[in-house]
Amino acid sequence: MSRREWIDAESFAAVAGISRQAAWKALRRDVWRGVHLEVRIVHGRGGRSGATYEVLVRSLPPDLQEQLKASQTPLRLSLPLPSASPGGIEGGWWHFHLQHLLAFPKGSKERGEAVKAMVGKTVLDWKNRPLTFARSTILNKLRVLEDTNGAGALRRKPRADTGKPKVVISRDWDRAASHAGIDAETQAHVAHDMLQRLRGCIQQGGTVSRTMTDVNAFLAKLSMAHGLRLSPREMGQVCRVPVRFYWREAPEHSRVYRHKHDRKASADAMPHVRRVMPDGPGQLYVLDVHHINVLVKEGNKIGTVKMLGCLDMGTRRFTADFVFFELRGGVRNSDNIELPRRVFSELSWGVPGAIYVDNGKEYRFARHLEDALRLAAEAAGSMDERESRVINSLPYNAQSKPIENVHHQLNNHEFRLLPGFIDDDRFNPMRPELGKLPKPFGGFDAFVELARGLIDAYNWTPQPHGQLKGDSPNSRFRHHVERGWRPIIMKPEDFDGIFCEPATRTVRNHAVKVAGRYWTCPELDEFAGTSVVARVPIYHGFNELRLERPDGKFLGIARPEREFEFTDPRGAHHSADRKARARKAIARLAGSVPTVDLLASRLEFGRSQQAIAPPEAAGVVSVNLDGPAARTVVPSPVRPTTRAEREAERAELLAIRQKYAKGSKG
């Protein structure tokens, strides 16, 4: 990058028509007229203690760039370009106004007439101050321009010590340190340590007064350590650091404190990447929650409304749903789900190729939309092979969410027209009368109707700047519709199925148990299987369950099983109806196949088999029962006793008992 692409604070002040102090403050803040400037600090080129600000020319507003270009561009190519220093601006200005005189020979009548025509004219000089041309001034500047063959000599001669610090710390301290015999190298070390101490105080958030008090005491202690001996009063006067050191270092080192203690402000000041926005509907939706600054009264409750917004980045169209609650906490997943459920089913919106959501837990439901978004993108012919179709913004970074600008526009231009508007300051709201809040808007439904009407008005309002270039969001959408754009939609019942987790449950007594409750339906009474798959909602409470067969086919919608009092006759009728359905299902199942006589089938099966002929014995094993080695007793089956034998046995037992009974008496 060439040096002439940067100009210093004095040149910037001259072009902008402001004072040097105002230019320095603008460059310190990096902002001028709402335009972000690219600023750098250059050491050893003048300014305070050899440091000055420089701004990149192409980051200036367009009008200042044109003005600077006109004052620096020579019309004769034989003359060198002026430098970007303050003297170069002055020399370039004179060259711009005198260069036409060089076309006439020196001493000619034509040059004299041209000089005479310039005398008495008033123009703005290089510092935007009125300047009236005098003949002597014109001739002197013209003579210098011809003698040097360039505009460089027209500028003031710079000081010989330009860019070199005049003092180390202050004149009093430099003088006292020299008298105490402190050499120049030691003085430089002391100044460096003092400056580091000052920078450390700024990085810790020290204010001007507290920082300078600390640095003065530090300098006094450091000076005494190097041999400076003065009375306490004199030491306090000598070791007083000029406050310009603070203002020179504060713009840079205060960023450390801001980053540690105000991360939001630090994030806003970080570098940002410019992104190309999609051109066409349904490519990217941005979802976000915003607080509407309007008091609404619903029944006995007075509060504000949450707006759940959706922005189509391709057309800048906006739609929203509204939630009103008090003392319930924040917006939940179940609240945010309703907006894409509606939008995905509408022909004017449809399923997008991707969504951009906040990083909060209220948008955890978005991960379940991955497959639907991918299918929509493929159907629309998208060639984007990104890994995820759900994009999460950086936490606490409002600038990364384009929908925030729409929220700002609606709050400041549309919703402020509604009764009950209190503005952004929650602790000091707008009041039509001192000590009284505005009268709240009457009725939530009426508020939603008017709010949606204002959103429609916003969608028809032309946007002269930015992506639309004068079109309104709706007119840009109509343009794409006329060119053949068509949406890809999703039915609400299919959308609901995305946010359910499958849970396999065992069927007992034609009912399943889910979430501590028993569920049944007529289809389940007729179901003959042992298990079903229940689709259990993740984010919503539910009183219905979708039941599927193990193969994935739809079975029915189950509801909680009804309970009856013990003496309630309806319970018996309800039980009889369910049992009747179960018996009919069994009868239908029995009639669906032919009747099989399994006994006859088994007997026939056995008879139909070919008999197996036994083979001849390979040998005979015998046992000698008469010898001493006989060990085997051949078992014989026990013959069952006959009735006569059992009666004889009982008579024998009776006789024995009678015999013993007589002996005991004797």
Encode pLDDT of 530-547 as tens digits: 899 988 887 777 778 888
| Domain co-membership, 332 together with 478 | yes
Indicate the pTM of the whole model: 0.55
Q: What is the dihedral of CA 17, 23, 25, 29, to 10 degrees?
A: 100
Q: How far apart are the first and last CA of the chain?
A: 145
Among 450, 482, 514, which residue terminates a domain?
Answer: 482
Chain centroid offset of residue 488 CA:
26
Encode pLDDT of 259-298 as tens digits: 898 877 777 777 776 777 788 898 899 998 888 888 888 8
| Domain co-membership, 294 together with 374 | yes
Q: Which residues does residue 296 pair with via DSSP β-bridges, in sequence order?
A: 303, 441
Residue 212: pLDDT over 90: yes
Q: Within a domain: residue 462?
A: yes
Q: Within a domain: residue 641?
A: no
Encode pLDDT of 19-42 as tens digits: 878 888 888 777 777 677 888 877
What is the distance between the alpha carbons of residues 372 and 350, in angstroms, rounded to a whole number? Answer: 11
400: DSSP letter: G
Which tokens hold the place of 387?
Answer: 């890994």
| Domain co-membership, 15 together with 109 | yes
Domain of residue 296, CATH code: 3.30.420
| Domain co-membership, 304 together with 339 | yes
Q: Within a domain: residue 542?
A: yes
How are the residues of the chain apportioned to helix, strand and coil, as percentages rounded to the nearest 5?
A: 45, 15, 40
Work out the percent of the chain whose per-residue pLDDT is above 70. 85
| Domain co-membership, 190 together with 311 | no
Residue 116, φ and ψ in degrees, nearest 5: -60, -35
Q: How many helices (H) and strands (E) does the chain have?
A: 22, 19
364: DSSP letter: G
* 78 — pLDDT class (breaks 50, 70, 90): very low
Work out the percent of the chain whose per-residue pLDDT is above 90. 22
Residue 439: pLDDT over 70: yes
| Domain co-membership, 360 together with 409 | yes
Residue 213: pLDDT over 90: yes
Q: Within a domain: residue 467?
A: yes
Encode pLDDT of 85-111 as tens digits: 444 677 778 877 888 888 888 888 888
* 74 — pLDDT class (breaks 50, 70, 90): very low
* 632 — pLDDT class (breaks 50, 70, 90): low
Max avg pLDDT among 51-65, 198-212, 384-398, 495-509: 198-212
| Domain co-membership, 248 together with 365 | no
Q: Within a domain: residue 493?
A: no
| Domain co-membership, 304 together with 440 | yes
**Least reliable range by pLDDT among 212-226, 364-378, 393-407, 408-422:** 393-407
38: DSSP letter: -
* 84 — pLDDT class (breaks 50, 70, 90): very low
What is the distance between the alpha carbons of residues 218 and 198, in angstroms, rounded to a whole number? Answer: 9
Cβ neighbours around 150 below 10 Å, total: 19
Question: CA nearest 512: which of 531, 499, 495, 529?
Answer: 531
* 76 — pLDDT class (breaks 50, 70, 90): very low
**Beta 51-56 vs 122-124: how paired, if at all?**
unpaired
Output the pLDDT for position 454. 93
| Domain co-membership, 222 together with 298 | no
| Domain co-membership, 182 together with 103 | no
Cβ neighbours around 80 below 10 Å, total: 14
Residue 648, φ and ψ in degrees, nearest 5: -60, -40
Chain centroid offset of residue 246 CA:
37
Among 125, 154, 183, which residue terminates a domain?
Answer: 154
Output the pLDDT for position 346. 92
Output the pLDDT for position 83. 44
**DSSP secondary structure letters along 453-478:** HHHHHHHTS---STTSTT--HHHHHH
Q: Within a domain: residue 611?
A: no
Q: Tally the domains of the chain.
A: 4
| Domain co-membership, 27 together with 100 | yes
Q: Within a domain: residue 639?
A: no
Q: Which of 655 and 155 is assigned the larger pLDDT?
A: 655
| Domain co-membership, 264 together with 289 | no
Give mean pLDDT, residues 59-80: 59
* 1 — pLDDT class (breaks 50, 70, 90): very low
Encode pLDDT of 227-268 as tens digits: 999 998 999 999 999 999 999 999 999 999 998 988 777 777
Among 551, 568, 588, which residue terminates a domain?
Answer: 588
Q: Within a domain: residue 653?
A: no
The residue segments making up the domain with residue 515 are 499-588
Output the pLDDT for position 303. 83
Encode pLDDT of 549-578 as tens digits: 988 888 888 888 888 787 778 878 888 888
Max avg pLDDT among 303-307, 315-319, 463-467: 315-319
Are the C-beta atoms of 362 and 333 separated by less than 8 Å? yes
